[in-house]
Amino acid sequence: MTNKFSYLEVEKGIFLRCGYWKSFRHQKKGSVCLLGGRTEFMEKYFDTIEQLNRRGLDVFSFDWRGQGLSTRLLQNRRKGYVKSYHDYVNDLSVFIENIFTQKAARPYILMGHSMGGHIIIRYLHEHGNIFDGAILLSPMIDIRTFPVPKKVLQTFTRILVRAGYDKVYIAGNDRVMDNKFKGNFLTSDIIRFEKTRKFILDNPKIAVGGVTFGWLKASFDSLDLLNQPGYVENIITPIWILSAEKDRVVCNMAQRRLCSRLPNCRLIKVGDSRHEIVQETDPVQKKFWNIFEQFLDSNL
């Protein structure tokens, strides 16, 4: 697998690290715009990218602002922060206009995990339906706030942001991920868990720690937007939502509710999977790739 990294200025002083991986299959099947979730970086998806290339798909991706090797927004680069999800949508829009559509061969596929899946919904609402299909992996349609009730946390967060605490950690610290595999909510595959940790150990600059009140408020604001009547109903792009059966990070019920509102959506439960479906065990990976092949056959 060969890759090519570059940088794209999406607004003054904000640069995204972008990646392009070309499939060398003689018969191309199209192009994938691959979007990670919060804290993630492109290296984490190298195995997934290789599998997509083997299937004849070119892959385009980037690190979101504030994470990976894109421009960080705070002096402490470990803090998870964004002012508004409009900034994320702008990142995606500028990337698609200036890189993806300039090089990509049709059909066009959007593929996003967690926060990346959420931003895909925002993008499709705001920028039309130029994509031929979208597949969302454990999309962040709502977040779990247990043991604190969501409305209590929303109110508390908005009060603190108004008071100027938007750049303060809500919980956690500079630690980038759990040091121990046992008890993690992300994957039940220890090899892939350790591979992600090694990427961070080899290059600590790609890491992100806990979230700030600013990031959480921006997330609540964007989640509320998705729930507004009529917001997603205009999206005609075929969308498949893959819901991880054992997810303890995002809300599966919210995924089902969203799918029922979308004009052209299918929801599939991925059994035995925690939050990160494409970082899961080989049996779960096999399920995922079977579903992905069905997605290609059904929509493209």
Segment 24-39, tens digit of pLDDT = 998 889 999 999 999 9
The encoded tokens of residue 28 equal 């191309």
How far is 124 from 31, CA to CA, in rounded Å? 17
What pLDDT is attached to residue 172? 67
What pLDDT, on a 0 to 100 scale, did the predictor assign at position 149?
A: 93
CB neighbours (10 Å) of residue 209? 18
Burial-class residue 183 by CB neighbours within 10 Å (0-12, 13-18, 19+): exposed
Query: Given this model, what pLDDT does residue 2 score?
Result: 62
pLDDT at 54: 96
What phi and psi, each to the nearest 5 degrees, are found at residue 151? -65, -35
Q: What digits encode the pLDDT tens for the residues 75-96?
A: 999 999 999 999 999 999 999 9
- pLDDT-derived band at 4 (thresholds 50, 70, 90) equals confident
Does residue 63 carry a pLDDT above 90?
A: yes
Could you tell me what percent of the chain has a pLDDT over 70? 97
Structure tokens at 154: 């929303």
- Sequential DSSP letters for 51-89: HHHHTTEEEEEEPPTTSTTSPPSSSSTTSB--S-HHHHH
At 300, the pLDDT band (50, 70, 90 cuts) reads confident
What is the C-alpha separation between 299 and 61, in angstroms, rounded? 21
Rounded mean pLDDT of 207-217?
95
**pLDDT above 90 for 180:** no
- In this prediction, residues 245-270 reach a mean pLDDT of 98
The phi and psi torsions of 29 (rounded to 5 degrees) equal: -105, -5
pLDDT at 177: 56
pLDDT tens digits for 261-292?
A: 999 999 999 999 999 999 999 999 999 999 99
Q: Which domains does the chain have, with CATH numbers?
A: 4-299 (3.40.50.1820)
Mean pLDDT of 102-117: 97
CA angle at 295 for the pair 135 and 242, rounded to the nearest 5°: 45
Q: What is the pLDDT of residue 178?
A: 55
Q: Is the pLDDT of residue 192 over 80?
A: yes
Statement: residue 51 has pLDDT above 60: yes
Q: How far apart are CA 164 and CA 176, in angstroms?
A: 24
Evaluate if residue 173 carries a pLDDT over 80: no
Mean per-residue pLDDT, 175-195: 86
Element spanning 49, H or E: helix 46-54
Q: What is the pLDDT of residues 158-171, one digit of tens each?
A: 999 999 999 999 97
